[in-house]
Amino acid sequence: MPDSVATTRKKNRRRPPTYADSGVDIDAGDEAVRRIQSRLRQTHGPRVIQNPGGFAGLFRLDYNEKLFKRNYKDPVLVSCTDSVGSKVLLAVRMGVHDTIGRDCVAMNVNDLIVQGAEPLFFLDYIGIHRVDPAHIEQIVGGVADGCALADCALIGGETCELPDVYKRGDYDLAGFAVGVVELKKAIDPLRVSPGDEVIALASSGVHSNGYTLVRKILDSAGLDLDMTYDELETDRTLGEVLLEPTRIYARSIVRLQRQYRVKKVISGMAHITGGGLAGNLRRALNPRVDAVIDRGAWDVPPVFGFLQARGGVEPEEMRRVFNMGVGYCLIVRPTFTNAIVDRLGRLGETAWVVGKITRGKGRVRERG
């Protein structure tokens, strides 16, 4: 064989393709799993069964456990799933990934407790362009922090490296929560009655809804995430204000409900997310009642006025998209209103009485 032919064949011989060449690094994924194990274990209580190398998490649910023996005769499992939404794009833009996990936990457990449930365990899903173990450690660390605040166990999750789906630097974050409620104490909108009162709990800011509009305002108004603005009434930058994690209400609500083991003093609850106060509180009503809300009964954080003014957003659109300072609502029997507000204050919440339940047709009517 002529030397020239042999040389040509050698040049054309290609190294066999690998998964890493395609954009998926198994070794990096294994390293990420190794890094986050300690954070997961920090959220585990005695009901989590250790399962090293397992393909799923194990959680004990039986009547021998002190919690279930004391609190449940007819336990019903409650589950939900949610994501952080486009707030994750702001985290990517700022290069801050250690708080977005708390948002993910909050969006799930705050929905869960609306049913009267207490969170038991949580799993996360990360879809990402490229696995960087340190980056994953930051994200999951935030999830673990959120689980600690919600008194639930982080027992597993999935990180999926998808370079053909996500652009470089991009990722998505979703979560899955499971809780338990005593069947007789599960929240039922039919219990909401005329005369009940509405208690609102303060949000920590924008939470995790409306960020598509937030980013549009940022771009159209030429706002700088690294700047401080007098209108925000804080020395924090705009980016820090917007990335403030969603408040987790689980611990306060669960402890409040345990105080009333026999009396059903809470007739309804609502997590205030996309759709605003009216859109979400409506879901807690039955067709025979209305909720009449006083818009001036709570303090609206400066960030909302700032976004409205800089973006030229109509007031009605602001109320429809954002929580406007109210992250969670309870509907309670009127004779217990003051005691519940006082108890919530001692649990670290800022609470206001913002409205009443009247006869109606399942509507939320806002005044002021």
pLDDT of residue 54: 63
Structure tokens belonging to residue 59: 């959680």
Pairing relationship of beta strands 326-332 and 266-271 according to DSSP bridges: antiparallel
What are the residues whose beta carbons fall under 8 Å from the beta carbon of 71, sequence distance 6 or more? 182, 258
* Spatial separation of the C-alpha atoms in residues 292 and 354, rounded to whole Å: 8
Strand, helix or coil for residue 167: coil
**Domain at 22-185, CATH class:** alpha beta
Buried b (16+ CB within 10 A) or exposed e, 2-37: eeeeeeeeeeeeeeeeeeeeeebbeebbebbbebbe
> How far apart are the C-alpha atoms of 139 and 106, rounded to whole Å?
14
Residue 74, pLDDT score: 83
Structure tokens at 209: 């809804």
Q: Report the alpha-carbon distance of residue 226 to residue 120 in Å, rounded.
A: 38
Among candidate residues 306, 330, 358, the one with its CA nearest the CA of residue 249: 330
What is the Cβ-side half-sphere exposure of residue 199, based on CA atoms within 13 angstroms?
26
Domain limits, the chain: 22-185, 189-367
Q: What is the pLDDT of residue 357?
A: 98
- Distance, CA of 357 to CA of 360 (rounded, Å): 9
Residue 326 in contact with residue 298, Cβ under 8 Å?
yes
Alpha carbon distance 208, 214 (integer Å): 11
pLDDT of residue 116: 95
| Residue in the block written with tokens 């198994």 | 26
In the CATH scheme, what is the homologous superfamily, with its name and number, of domain 189-367?
A: PurM-like C-terminal domain (3.90.650.10)
What is residue 292's three-state secondary structure? Answer: strand
pLDDT score of 350? 98
| pTM over 0.95, yes/no | no
pLDDT of residue 19: 46
Beta-carbon contacts of residue 263 (< 8 Å; ≥ 6 apart): 336
Beta bridge partners of 80: 177
Instruction: Give the E-state strand segments of 100-205 in sequence order.
Output: 118-128, 153-161, 171-182, 197-202
Distance of alpha carbon 58 from alpha carbon 154, whole angstroms: 11
Q: What is the pLDDT along the chain (368 residues), one digit of tens a residue?
A: 555 545 555 555 566 654 454 555 555 555 656 665 666 576 777 666 676 666 666 666 764 556 555 667 888 899 999 999 999 999 999 999 999 999 999 999 999 999 999 999 999 999 999 988 889 999 999 999 999 999 999 988 899 999 999 999 999 999 999 999 888 889 999 999 999 999 999 999 999 999 999 999 999 999 999 999 999 999 999 999 999 999 999 999 999 999 987 788 999 999 999 999 999 999 999 999 999 999 999 999 999 999 999 999 999 999 999 999 999 999 999 999 999 999 999 999 999 999 999 999 999 999 98
CA–CA separation, 78 and 250 (whole Å): 14
**What dihedral angle (degrees, nearest 10) is formed by the CA atoms of 304, 108, 285, 275?**
30
- Rounded Cα distance between 200 and 364, Å, is 14
Helix (H) or strand (E) holding 219: helix 211-221
Q: What tokens appear for 258 in the block?
A: 């345990």
